Chain A
C-alpha cells in the first residue's frame, strides 16, 4: 500500500474513533458514568483492538478530566454529593491498581461474560423499579 493511502486510512480511523468517543461521551454525561463500559467493546468490535489494548486505551480517555464540563452542569443544579465523592476516590484508585494486576492473570472472556450478566440484571432492575408504578 502506498504511503498516501496508508496516511488516509490512518486519518479515517482517527475520525472514526473520535466520532465513537463523542457518542460514548453523550452516554457519559447523560448517565454520570465514565463511558469506558461502551468504549471498550466498541473499540474491539469496530476497530479490531485486542481486549487488553482496548482496556488500556480506554483508561487513557479517563485520565484527563473528561467529565468536567458535565460535572459543572450537574453541580449548578445541586446534583453532586461532594463528601461521598471524596470518600470514594482513594478506594477506587487503590482498587484500580489491584484490578490492573489481576487482569493479567484472568481469562478475560469469562470475566466479561460474568460482568455482562451482572450489568444486564442491574439494568433490568433499574428500569423496572423506575417504570413499574
Chain B
C-alpha cells in the first residue's frame, strides 16, 4: 500500500511540473478510486499535500528560463488564499455524493478550458516561434 501511495505521488508530481498545476485535480480522483477514500477525505488530504511547497523544484526549472511573472503570481496566491477558504464553506455541508458529482462537472469544465487554450495557441503565430526557440 505504501509503495502504491509513493508511486502515485511521483506520477502526480510529473504532471505538476509538466503542466504547472497543483496536482490535486488528478490526485483527488486517484485517492477516491485507488485508495477507496470518501470524496471529502480525498479533498482534505489533497489540500494537505498542497501545503508544503511541492512545486518549488518545478518552479526553479521555469525560473531559470525566465518563464515566471512574479507580480501576477503573488496576486494569484493572495486571491487563492481567500477564495479557497470561501470554497471550503461551500463544500463541507454538501453530501459526498453531490460533491463528487460537482467535482466531475468541474473536471469537464477544466478539460474544456485546457482544450480551448490548446486550440487558441495553435492559431497564434507566435507558437511557431516558441517551438523554434525551444
Contact = CB atoms under 8 A, between A and B. Distances in A.
Interface residues of B, number: 111
B125 interface: no
B99 to A, nearest CB: 8
B5 A84 contact: yes
B108 A123 contact: yes
Contacts, number: 461
A13 to B, nearest CB: 8
Given A25-B87, A27-B87, A45-B113, A84 B20 contact: no
A84 B76 contact: no
B83 to A, nearest CB: 2
A26 B90 CA distance: 9
A20 B84 CA distance: 12
B117 A67 contact: no
Interface of A: 14, 17-45, 47, 49-71, 73-75, 77, 79-82, 84-85, 87-109, 111-113, 115-120, 122-131
